Structure 1
């Protein structure tokens, strides 16, 4: 799942600066519903990462049943933390 595709699907645009606050809230809510229903591990991870970037990701133990997926999410969080410090 491509980042721009996710933005268009949930927010109607691939320009983060063009997303109105109400549209952001509605898109995040739809993402949460989709995350809860998604069975494909890769798609779940893609949804969770975008939610994480938007500050709306559920806790790892809620989002991922698989320990490998939780570890990958922790690695992603560490990478994002490191990137924002540099």
Structure 2
């Protein structure tokens, strides 16, 4: 699942700077619904990462039942924190 593909799928563009607040909110809602329905662990993780970057990810214990997935998400958050404010 490519990052730009996710952006286009949920927001209609890969240029986040061009999004209006209404389009952003609508895209986040679509992303959350699709996340809730997704069964594939890898796809769910990719969607959760996008939601986290966009500031709307569910808590780890809600998003992932498997402790390994929760740990991977924590690792992702730590990686973003180490990368600095430009990426988080």
TM range (shorter): over 0.9
How many residues are matched? 86
The CA deviation string for residues 47-68 of structure 1, in whole angstroms up to 9 with x for no partner, is 0000000000000000001111
Q: Does 1:29 align with 2:29?
A: yes
Q: Does 1:74 align with 2:74?
A: yes
Alpha-carbon distance in 2 for matches of 1:75, 1:8: 26
Which blocks of at least 5 consecutive residues in structure 2 are unaligned? none
Q: Secondary structure at the match of 1:17?
A: helix
What's the C-alpha RMSD, in Å, of the aligned pairs?
Answer: 1.2
Q: Does 1:64 align with 2:61?
A: no
Summarize the Cα distance change of 1:27–1:82 in structure 2 as closer, same or farther, 3 Å threshold. same
Summarize the Cα distance change of 1:45–1:5 in structure 2 as closer, same or farther, 3 Å threshold. same
In the superposition, the TM-score normalised over structure 1's length comes to 0.96
| Structure 1: 4+ residue segments shifted above 3 A | none
In the superposition, the TM-score normalised over structure 2's length comes to 0.94
Which blocks of at least 5 consecutive residues in structure 1 are unaligned? none
1:19 maps to what in 2? 19
